[in-house]
Amino acid sequence: MATWQLRVAAVQLCSTHDQPANLARCRELTAQAAADGAQLVVLPECFSFLGRSEREKLGLAEAFDGTAPPGAVLATLRELAVKHAVWIVGGGTPERVPGDPRRAYNTALVVDPRGALIARYRKIHLFDVDIPGGAVLRESDSTARGEEPLVVDIAGAPVGVTICYDVRFPELYRRLVKDMGAEVLLVPAAFTAHTGAAHWHLLLRARAIEDQAWVVAAAQWGRHNEKRETYGHSLIVDPWGTIAAERAEGDGVVVATIDSAQVTRRRTQMPCLSHAVLWK
């Protein structure tokens, strides 16, 4: 494996229906992360918009295939990447679905320090649930399902990109690691307060342990409106499952230096990945 070292920042937000205000907060927190030496800044799911219903986002969906001028979201990410000379992952924002005005993709955008959009990941697993004692959410009513997993080289580090509910499906992460070579796993999220309290830490640490990879989870936190509250607890987990950094609540950033040395060390000491059987 190639050696690499990367200073990463997970940004924590309480986004609302006010897109300009959300993007302004992203500007402030990206500057804070860059001042702390971050080379990669990860924004949470719904960083650009979190409304009262899934359908509200459709009017803000942008095209990211070069067929239209950059909208407010992509323009902001490009601006911040260039200004601070950092990689930015916008962890989930509405993308237009050609020919389907009723749905948008939930798309994570990877922008390099030159401001180029080099990759995008469309969320594969959609959150359709009736939470006991909580909300009823049907993401698929207004969101199209993605199909392709993504691993992208970020400053020499092989990084797998996922979004929120994906974290409950270990087979996706095993593919990112075993088949595609990921050593860092991103999980930008807007985890509900109810499910987060029960499972957030367990799931993220489990993905780190079983795949012997770094996990960087940028989260939404707090009450966004009368219908939505998220758990927070942005964190960075090492390949042994130890939490290296965490922010429980409040807007802010979690920063840590991660490297390939710990990945190599754990995979050598406990060669689980070489023992794994991939069932057909």
Q: Does the residue 213 lie in any domain?
A: yes
Residues 23-70 have pLDDT tens digits of 999 999 999 999 999 999 999 999 999 988 777 889 899 999 988 889
Q: Which residues, 6 or more positions from 69, have their beta carbon under 8 angstroms from its beta carbon?
A: none
Q: Does the residue 1 lie in any domain?
A: no
> Considering the entire predicted model, what is its pTM?
0.95
**In the block, which residue shows the tokens 């601006």?**
79
Q: How many residues does the chain have?
A: 280
Is residue 4 within 8 Å of 260, Cβ to Cβ?
Answer: yes
- C-alpha to C-alpha distance for 107 and 123, rounded to whole angstroms: 6
Q: Does the residue 280 lie in any domain?
A: no
Q: Which residues, 6 or more positions from 138, have their beta carbon under 8 angstroms from its beta carbon?
A: 54, 128
Question: Count of H helices and E strands in the chain?
Answer: 6, 17
CATH number where 230 lies: 3.60.110.10
- C-alpha to C-alpha distance for 87 and 84, rounded to whole angstroms: 9
Mean pLDDT is highest, among 55-59, 83-87, 127-131, 137-141, for 83-87
Q: Does the residue 279 lie in any domain?
A: no
- Torsion angle, alpha carbons of 213, 120, 172, 199, to 10: 70
pLDDT of residue 277: 79
- C-alpha to C-alpha distance for 84 and 107, rounded to whole angstroms: 23
Domain count, the chain: 1
pLDDT of residue 150: 98
Q: Which domain holds residue 143?
A: 7-273
**In the block, which residue shows the tokens 């190639």?**
2
Residues 173-193 have pLDDT tens digits of 999 999 999 999 999 999 999
Binned at pLDDT 50, 70 and 90, residue 232 comes out as very high
Mean pLDDT estimate for the chain:
94
pLDDT of residue 135: 64
Binned at pLDDT 50, 70 and 90, residue 139 comes out as confident
**Active-site annotation, residues:** 45, 123, 164
Is residue 120 within 8 Å of 109, Cβ to Cβ?
Answer: yes
- Please state which of the ranges 79-93, 126-140, 241-255 shows the lowest mean pLDDT: 126-140
Angle at 229 between CA 225 and CA 233, to 5 degrees: 135
Q: Does the residue 92 lie in any domain?
A: yes
pLDDT of residue 227: 85
Q: What is the DSSP letter of 46?
A: T
Can you give the C-alpha Rg of the chain in angstroms? 17
Residues 253-278 have pLDDT tens digits of 999 999 999 999 999 999 999 898 77
Binned at pLDDT 50, 70 and 90, residue 138 comes out as confident
pLDDT of residue 168: 98
Predicted confidence (pLDDT) at residue 122 exceeds the cutoff of 90: yes
Between 215 and 131, name the one with better pLDDT: 215
